Amino acid sequence: MANRIKIFDTTLRDGEQSPGCSMNLQEKLEVAVQLEKLNVDVIEAGFAIASPGDFESVCEIAKAVKNAAVASLCRAVEQDIDRAYEAVRHAVHPRIHTFLATSPIHMKYKLKMSEDEVLERTGYAVAYAKKYCGDVEFSAEDASRSDKEFLARVFSKAIACGATVINIPDTVGYSSPEEMAAYISYVKNYVNGIEKAEISVHCHNDLGLAVSNTLASIRAGATQIECTINGIGERAGNTSLEEVVMNLRTRKDYYSAECGIDIKQIYRSSKLIQTITGVPIAPNKAIVGDNAFVHEAGIHQHGVLAERSTYEIMTPQEIGIPQKKMALGKHSGRHAFGERLTELGYSLSPQEIDNAFARFKILADKKKVISNGDLDALVAMKLEPVNQHYMLDNFIINSGSKITATSTISLKVDDTIIEKVASGDGPVDAAYKAINTIINKKIELDDYSIHAATEGEDALGEVIVKLTLDDKKAVGRAVSTDIIEASILAYLNGVNKL
């Protein structure tokens, strides 16, 4: 019988700590809903004590999620644990996830604590969390650089005090597959009461081994893995959920393990994270990259046409990549539009379908046919902030090789139309300077990217911007067949979030 592996998703906590991947409350809720569709076992919703915004998002996710456990990370101190429980207490399945470092380098330079002090703090923190919550996870930070014998003592103490999950993090991505497997084996053999707890691993990708280390841990007996969608996370990222899951499915004969993930939701989940964070997926990214199922070499093409399994060990349909179908057009009705969205994996409210259909009709007047990619782009636009304080009324751009680019921007600010003119180094720069003049705030443009969201000469241009106002950051996104319009709308999208 295959071992059942629990999937602990930390996209909303460790993933969001990745530079440029911050999300607002609405976006976090959108991700949490998708993670439920993906059928993960645990959603780590955030670090409740980190900020009021983190606390609020953990609270709201705990209320919204119906099936998965909802966890909040906290340090091994009372005020952190209090705050974590206050945030997750409304969850159907709440979990407190507390941690303390166990490696010599962390204990000496960061904690300034002895082994005995760390052991005592571990027991106290787990027991303190246990009085709030039946499900308590304890992580030994930097476990992969810890002494095995001491680690076993710490985990024995944690389980004796009520921990239901003990986690072995490769916090800095230092370990190798053989070493991670050895840690799992040691813990299984030398931790008292280990039969009462799940064994979890949390691997980082600093040396490119996060997935390999995780799979080796599963082979050695780990029963929970901690991961993120697209492998986002601090530094080089975390273990990629989709890569581990498809390894388990494709090589079940080797790993003898399975999980409860609905793999048809993998592609949709990946695209959602890319859309919200603005972090593009490399074309050669395993499982979800644009080239993952593309065959260019003639001998490969011949083999696939004769029998797909000659060069494909899995199919794009398995992970939910939609098959190309007859495209919609301007004469298509709302019913056909809604049916296609359902086929693409979306579950939208009637109001959201109406809003997307209105955008579809506008686009259909500009394009002869609307592809699945166009629909993805249209639906993604529903992630715009609810309160549109600044709305585009009109724009005029003058630009050329021998003139200075100028932009006339007219915005609707509440019920007032305000128009300003600015010049700049190109049409986009001029437009952004005019907008900043209207809103009278110093918005910093940290990053600007543009790419074709769909194919063909009438493709939708997708623009993603990353903005900073004081200490706040936001990602703005928009699509249009006019890349200047997309640039302006993306900027306003980010400004409204800020």
**Rounded Cα gap, residues 371 and 58, in angstroms:** 36
Can you give the pLDDT at residue 451? 84
CA angle, 35 then 83 then 23, to 5°? 40
- Tell me the whole-structure pTM to 2 decimals: 0.87
DSSP class of residue 327 equals: P
Judge residue 346's burial from the number of C-beta atoms within 10 Å of its C-beta, 0-12 exposed, 13-18 middle, 19 or more buried. Answer: middle
Can you give the pLDDT at residue 305? 59
Domains in the chain: boundaries: 3-277, 292-321, 334-383, 390-497
**Rounded Cα gap, residues 200 and 188, in angstroms:** 12
Q: Tokens representing 476?
A: 């703005």
Can you give the pLDDT at residue 154? 98
* Torsion on CA atoms 163, 166, 171, 173, rounded to nearest 10: -170
Is the distance from CB of 239 to CB of 228 less than 8 angstroms?
yes
Q: Is 222 helix (H, G, I), strand (E, B) or coil?
A: coil
Q: Which CATH superfamily hosts domain 390-497?
A: Alpha-isopropylmalate synthase LeuA, regulatory domain (3.30.160.270)
Short-list 176, 248, 257, CA closest to 212 = 176
Can you give the pLDDT at residue 454? 74
Fold topology of 3-277 = TIM Barrel (3.20.20)
> For the sheet containing 403-413, what is the strand order?
390-400, 403-413, 416-424
Can you give the pLDDT at residue 414? 84
Question: Which H/E stretch holds residue 276?
Answer: helix 266-277
* Residue 32 phi, psi dihedral angles, 5° rounding: -60, -40
**Rounded Cα gap, residues 380 and 378, in angstroms:** 5
**Rounded Cα gap, residues 210 and 201, in angstroms:** 10
**Rounded Cα gap, residues 141 and 42, in angstroms:** 19
Q: Which residues of the chain have pLDDT under 50?
A: 383, 385
Residue type, 304: V
> For the sheet containing 461-469, what is the strand order?
444-452, 461-469, 472-480
**Rounded Cα gap, residues 323 and 12, in angstroms:** 30
**Rounded Cα gap, residues 135 and 328, in angstroms:** 49
Can you give the pLDDT at residue 294? 73
